[in-house]
Amino acid sequence: MSAKRKTPAISASTCEVLDPIPRQKVRLHTVDDLRLEMGRVYNDMRAGRLESGEGTKLAYVLGQMVRVFELAVIEKRIDALEMTHEQKP
In a domain, 63, yes or no: yes
In a domain, 8, yes or no: no
In a domain, 31, yes or no: yes
Q: What is the pTM of this model?
A: 0.65
- The DSSP-derived string for the chain is --TT-SS-EE-TTT--EEEPPPPPP---SSHHHHHHHHHHHHHHHHTTSS-HHHHHHHHHHHHHHHHHHHHHHHHHHHHHHHHHHHH--
Domain count along the chain? 1
Residues 11-55 have pLDDT tens digits of: 556 666 555 556 678 889 999 999 999 999 999 999 999 999 999
pLDDT at 2: 44
The range of the structural domain enclosing residue 70 comes to 25-87
Residues 63-74 have pLDDT tens digits of: 999 999 999 999
Which pLDDT band holds residue 1 (cuts at 50, 70, 90)?
Answer: very low
